[in-house]
């Protein structure tokens, strides 16, 4: 494809919108934004899909599978951007703040961009995206409401991260996870402690239990206790109470330094008694709280493992180095980032289903419906008509409120 679709296909644009899927450019990223299975559903809704050649290869989705479902294969990345009305990515510029910048000249006014944007990361990056004129939606800002559950890509990826974190720990730990009764005697089960019982944490508990470990968890949100019990974990209660523990979206709220210092003191014994600790405590837009100090690591048994799922943003453990595996005091601290990409087949499948549901919600009759009364559209829209427009993002960066009118384009 030379960057322009054949005239006979361009003629269909009266009834079709074209979705472009470029190959992910972040180093080591193996996911793809759409998988072949969702293309018929999009076609039925009036979309046509153009995908960059090889975009799905890293996730085990060959070009031939896309073509068999009716997608067009573009040989050049620029052709995808030039022909598409909607660009769908996993990591857009913002989440991919290095290689992603190369896509900025390919974006154009009026185009729609959907993917992970990390909108609370850098205002400069967001303004660069806005300057292209695209209408950009950050999939990670999806509200946690019943209507949006099928679109919640952040939860989908967190599920995979929680699962993979425990597998990494089990592979590293010099002990077996399950209790085994053998001719050589009984093997006691491993003790896994999860800090932060959100989506990733709950999946980590469930996975540890499936592998036969004894799993326990702590979360500053009182509502997490029942959720931990529901997946077979034991809830660790500390004699300390968080003030206003969660926000309206169900995420943990940041506490003051005094709270975190006291929390770390109380967690110390539980951490020391654990074979594996998985930390998954993050606060949107904030540096992750420090939950495991270097001294706490020193008190863990030799061979113990910590998997820090907050490593990319600074980590919950003082020893963590983003993207690295560190051994200190004979304790292995895993700070591997982008874990969802290490399970690319199903990560792509889940993400594609989330994004497809989102697109079908946003577009009606081949047009984008920007209804600012709709919480899903309002909470995910980040840039429009050359400006950063998301209310919470503007407040976060100290910008004045900007009113967006309901439009159809």
List 175, 251, 374, 392, catalytic entry: 251
- 152 flagged as catalytic: yes
Q: What is the pLDDT of residues 120-132, one digit of tens each?
A: 999 999 999 999 9
Quick one: CA dihedral 138, 140, 145, 148, positive or negative? positive
Q: What is the pLDDT of residues 43-80, one digit of tens each?
A: 999 999 999 999 999 999 999 999 999 999 999 999 99
Measure Cα distances from 214 to 143, 159, 188, 231 in Å.
33, 20, 10, 12
List 25, 63, 65, 144, catalytic entry: 144
- Tell me the percentage of the chain whose pLDDT exceeds 90: 80
Domain ranges (residues) in the chain: 7-152+343-408, 157-342
What pLDDT, on a 0 to 100 scale, did the predictor assign at position 156?
A: 98
Number of H helices, E strands in the chain: 13, 20
d(CA 315, CA 189): 27
User: In the CATH scheme, what is the homologous superfamily, with its name and number, of domain 7-152+343-408?
Assistant: NAD(P)-binding Rossmann-like Domain (3.40.50.720)
List 103, 152, 275, 308, catalytic entry: 152
List 4, 60, 64, 149, catalytic entry: 149
What pLDDT, on a 0 to 100 scale, did the predictor assign at position 13?
A: 41
Q: For residue 138, what are its two tokens?
A: 């950050």
Beta-carbon-side half-sphere exposure of residue 29 (alpha carbons within 13 Å): 22
What pLDDT, on a 0 to 100 scale, did the predictor assign at position 220?
A: 83
Q: What's the mean per-residue pLDDT of the chain?
A: 91
DSSP 8-state assignment for residue 218: E
How much of the chain is in helix, strand and coil states, percent to nearest 5? Answer: 40, 20, 40
List 89, 95, 155, 348, catalytic entry: 155
d(CA 134, CA 103): 12
- 304 flagged as catalytic: no
- CB neighbourhood size of 361 (10 A): 16
DSSP 8-state assignment for residue 291: -
d(CA 87, CA 100): 13
- 149 flagged as catalytic: yes
Same fold: 7-152+343-408 with 157-342: yes
Angle among Cα 14, 18, 24 to the nearest 5 degrees reads: 170
What pLDDT, on a 0 to 100 scale, did the predictor assign at position 8?
A: 40
Q: For residue 257, what are its two tokens?
A: 């330094």
246 compared with 9, residue with greater pLDDT? 246
Q: Are 344 and 350 in contact (CB under 8 A)?
A: no
- 144 flagged as catalytic: yes
d(CA 165, CA 178): 17
12 compared with 396, residue with greater pLDDT? 396
Whether the model clears a pTM of 0.85, i.e. scores above it, the answer is yes
- 345 flagged as catalytic: no
Fold of the domain built from segment(s) 157-342: Rossmann fold (3.40.50)
d(CA 326, CA 306): 10
């Amino acid at each position: 494809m030379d960057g322009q679709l054949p005239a006979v296909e361009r003629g269909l644009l009266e009834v079709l919108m074209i979705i472009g899927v470029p190959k992910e450019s972040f180093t080591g990223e193996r996911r793809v934004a759409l998988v072949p299975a969702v293309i018929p559903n999009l076609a039925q809704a009036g979309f046509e899909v153009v995908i960059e050649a090889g975009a799905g290869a890293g996730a085990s989705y060959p070009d031939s599978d896309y073509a068999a479902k009716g997608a067009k294969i573009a040989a050049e990345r620029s052709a995808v951007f030039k022909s598409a009305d909607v660009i769908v990515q996993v990591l857009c510029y913002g989440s991919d703040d290095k290689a992603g910048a190369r896509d900025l000249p390919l974006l154009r006014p009026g185009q729609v961009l959907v993917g992970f944007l990390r909108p609370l990361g850098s205002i400069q990056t967001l303004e660069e995206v806005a300057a292209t004129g695209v209408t950009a939606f950050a999939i990670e800002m999806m509200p946690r409401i019943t209507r949006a559950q099928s679109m919640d890509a952040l939860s989908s990826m967190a599920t995979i991260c929680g699962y993979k974190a425990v597998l990494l720990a089990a592979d590293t730990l010099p002990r077996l996870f399950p209790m085994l009764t053998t001719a050589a005697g009984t093997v006691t089960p491993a003790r896994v402690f999860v800090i932060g019982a959100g989506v990733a944490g709950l999946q980590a508990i469930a996975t540890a239990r499936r592998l036969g470990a004894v799993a326990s968890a702590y979360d500053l949100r009182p509502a997490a206790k029942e959720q931990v019990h529901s997946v077979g974990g034991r809830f660790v209660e500390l004699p300390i109470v968080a003030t206003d523990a969660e926000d309206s979206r169900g995420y943990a709220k940041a506490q003051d330094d005094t709270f975190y210092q006291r929390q770390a003191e109380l967690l110390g014994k539980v951490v020391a008694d654990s074979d594996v600790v998985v930390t998954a405590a993050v606060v949107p837009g904030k540096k992750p709280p420090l939950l495991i100090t270097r001294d706490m690591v020193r008190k863990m048994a030799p061979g113990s493992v910590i998997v820090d799922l907050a490593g990319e943003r600074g980590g919950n453990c003082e020893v963590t180095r983003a993207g690295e595996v560190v051994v200190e005091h004979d304790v292995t601290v895993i700070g591997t980032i982008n874990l969802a990409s290490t399970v690319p087949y199903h990560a792509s499948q889940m993400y594609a289903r989330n994004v497809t549901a989102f697109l079908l919600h946003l577009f009606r009759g081949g047009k984008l419906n920007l209804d600012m009364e709709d919480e899903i559209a309002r909470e995910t829209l980040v840039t429009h008509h050359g400006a950063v427009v998301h209310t919470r993002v503007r407040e976060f960066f100290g910008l004045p409120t900007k009113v967006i009118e309901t439009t159809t384009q």
